[in-house]
Amino acid sequence: MAVLIKGGTVVNADGRQRADVLCDEGIIKSIAPSIDTGANIEVIDAGGQFVLPGGIDPHTHMQLPFMGTVATEDFYTGTAAGLAGGTTMIIDFVIPDPNQNLMDAYRQWRSWAEKSAADYSFHVAVTWWDETVHADMGTLVREEGINSFKHFMAYKNAIMATDEIMYNSFRRALELGAIVTAHAENGELVFQLQKELLAKGITGPEGHPLSRPPSVEGEAANRVIQFADVIGVPVYLVHVSTKDALDHIKRAQANGGRVFGEVLAGHLMIDDSVYQNLDWKFAAAHVMSPPFRPKGHQDALWQGLQSGALQTTATDHCCFCYEQKAAGKDDFTLIPNGTAGVEDRMAVLWTHGVRTGRLTIEEFVAATSTNAAKIFNIHPRKGAIREGADGDIVIWDPEATRTISKKTHHQNIDFNIFEGMEVTGNPSHTLSHGVICYDKGELRAQKGKGQYIKRPAFHSMFEALDRKADLTKVQPVKR
């Protein structure tokens, strides 16, 4: 059944127009000032609303095995919740255990994701190194459409990538035309600070931010930027949470570095006072890494988004319910790290970005969809209202209001970090491949309808790179 979206204002990252949009056979067939309806065409009245590219959340962890448990949100419920909030694609993570074969881990995650209700792709984490990792990275890029490799600089004795692993992986990524991404916190500092805090008897959630102060992120952000610069590979910093890291990103970008930054909706809105809450459950529910930060960092992050230093917004959607968080009742280092957000990201960004004048609607589209599509090389198939693009569309009602709550959200978690927030600006309809999946409060997500999206390598970007580490040009001094 074709779908005709009539009377709306189409907004892309580069501009807007009053236009009708016809979707059929999974793609956007035509965009024109007026398109006539006809037989077998379902019409949506988008009068007074905006017709936007479906949101892309470049950072989620559906059903992640982590810290001795498994995230409660799976690929079906998580992508369905995303559709309710206007997000039509996620980029999740394959995270091999150290010494686990990358291809085995990749196949595991692919099997988990088959139940998805919306499109998905994966960043693959490099958590260890040997020649099989080198080979598997090649297979993943050349045969599986992976073009981004993740490095956790935190989580020592678990999935932390040492400098040696990062060096080998970054060199390989450069060879393959892939981008590297990083969770930038110094894992050794976190490990040592955690031990010191526990030794002082600080066992509650208030210890979590104390073990990961802003400078722990700043150090790692600078290190990973310098690593990438020496090796000559583009780098994307996930969940940038501090002015410390943002300043390093800005400096590198000013020097021509190909450095990208992502910010979470939560880090834009929530500060570290949550960890002082006397309700253990409330404080523990906010334990994620990097932690929510002291007041002041949030404004710096908004400024980074407005200036373009930070290009994308995400959620790091990684759900652990109270009984899972309770594992850390007597030791905050055992609280599974993670919070939710995939359903609320876009409404939070609209309410506190567009309605406050921080972002234009075009900038909102860039930050919630288009920039992620461009950085991860799937634009304009994704992230654009353009003829021939996938029919991933969110019809945005700028006046629709709701109050965010765990009582009403579709996310499979017993807590919401935005609990009680009134958001103005919400989807009236979400379409995935031209099929209406969310219709004025009715979620019509279909298990298994989501498609795995291959993302090609970036050779064009690499051809332009000055390969500073290319030693073939260096000649020995003849003494």
* 337 is a site residue for ligand URQ (CB under 6 A): yes
Q: How far is the CB of 95 from ligand URQ (least distance, A)?
A: 8
Given ligand URQ, Zn ion, none, residue 66, with its beta carbon under 5 to 8 Å by kind, binds ligand URQ
Smallest distance from the beta carbon of 185 to Zn ion, in angstroms?
A: 8
Position 72, amino acid:
T
Angstrom distances, CA of residue 5 to CA of 9, 21, 54, 437, 460:
10, 5, 14, 14, 36
Q: Name which of 53 and 58 has its Cβ closer to ligand URQ.
A: 58
Helix (H) or strand (E) run with residue 371 in it: helix 371-375
Rounded CA separation 400/284 (Å):
32
Pick the piece of the chain touching Zn ion (CB under 5 A) from 10-18, 96-104, 158-166, 176-184: 176-184
Among 119, 272, 316, 343, binds Zn ion (CB under 5 A): 316
* Contact partner at residue 92 from Zn ion, ligand URQ, none, CB < 5 to 8 Å by partner kind: none
Residue 335 binding target from Zn ion, ligand URQ, none, CB below 5 to 8 Å by type? none
179 binds, among Zn ion, ligand URQ, none (CB under 5 to 8 A by kind): none
**Closest separation in Å from C-beta 67 to ligand URQ:** 8
Q: Which helix (H) or strand (E) holds 168?
A: helix 163-176
Q: Least distance to ligand URQ from the beta carbon of 425, Å?
A: 26
DSSP secondary structure code for residue 128 in this structure: S
CB of 184 to ligand URQ, least distance (A): 11
Are the beta carbons of 458 and 178 closer than 8 angstroms? yes
> What is the maximum alpha-carbon separation in the chain?
84
State which amino acid sits at residue 427.
P
Q: Considering only the stretches 36-44, 311-319, 345-353, 416-424, report the one whose residues sit in contact with Zn ion under the rule CB under 5 A.
A: 311-319
Q: What is the nearest approach in angstroms of ligand URQ to the Cβ of residue 66?
A: 6
Distance CA 91, CA 14 (A): 23
Burial (CB count <10 Å: 0-12, 13-18, 19+), residue 162: middle
Residues 180-239 touching Zn ion, rule: CB under 5 A, are 183
66 sits near ligand URQ (criterion: CB under 6 A): yes
Choose from ligand URQ, Zn ion, none: what does 368 bind? Cβ within 5-8 Å by kind: none
Of the candidates 147, 166, 139, 169, the residue with the CA atom closest to the CA atom of residue 462: 147
Site residue total, ligand URQ (CB under 6 A): 9
Cα-based distances in Å from 188 to 126, 245, 309: 18, 18, 28
Please, which of residues 287-316 interact with ligand URQ by CB under 6 A? 288-289, 316
CB of 286 to ligand URQ, least distance (A): 10
CA–chain centroid gap for 235, Å, is 15
Q: Is 318 in the site for ligand URQ (CB under 6 A)?
A: yes
- Contact between 61 and ligand URQ (CB under 6 A)? yes
Alpha carbons 316 and 151: distance in angstroms, whole number? 15
DSSP summary character for residue 369: I
Say which entry of Zn ion, ligand URQ, none residue 337 contacts (CB below 5 to 8 A, set by partner kind). Answer: ligand URQ
Site track 144-163 with Zn ion (rule: CB under 5 A), x = hit: --------------------
Nearer to ligand URQ, 6 or 61 (CB): 61
How many residues interact with Zn ion (rule CB under 5 A)?
Answer: 2
Q: Report the nearest approach of Zn ion to the CB of residue 160 (Å).
A: 11
Q: How far is the CB of 304 from Zn ion (least distance, A)?
A: 18
The residue assigned the tokens 């996930």 is 238
Cα-Cα end-to-end distance for the chain:
77
Cβ proximity to ligand URQ, 289 vs 412, nearer residue: 289
CB–CB of 345/85 below 8 Å? yes
Query: Which of Zn ion, ligand URQ, none binds 338 (CB below 5-8 Å, type-dependent)?
Result: ligand URQ
> Applying CB under 6 A, which of residues 6, 29, 123, 183 lies at the interface with ligand URQ?
183
Residue pair 389/88 in contact (Cβ under 8 Å)? The answer is no
Cβ-based nearer residue to Zn ion, 51 or 237: 237
- Residue 454's contacts (CB-CB under 8 Å, 6 or more residues apart) are 121, 144, 145
Least Å distance between CB 455 and Zn ion?
A: 18
**Of the candidates 232, 222, 231, the residue with the CA atom closest to the CA atom of residue 252:** 222
> Which DSSP letter does residue 180 get?
E
Q: d(Cα 405, Cα 48) in Å, to the nearest integer?
A: 27
Q: Which residues contact 23 (CB under 8 A, 6 or more apart)?
A: 2, 3, 4, 5, 29, 391, 393, 431, 434
Kindly tell me which residue out of 266, 338, 391, 427 binds ligand URQ, with binding defined by CB under 6 A. Answer: 338
Which residues of the chain form contacts with ligand URQ (CB under 6 A)?
A: 61, 66, 183, 288-289, 316, 318, 337-338
Which residues of the chain form contacts with Zn ion (CB under 5 A)?
A: 183, 316
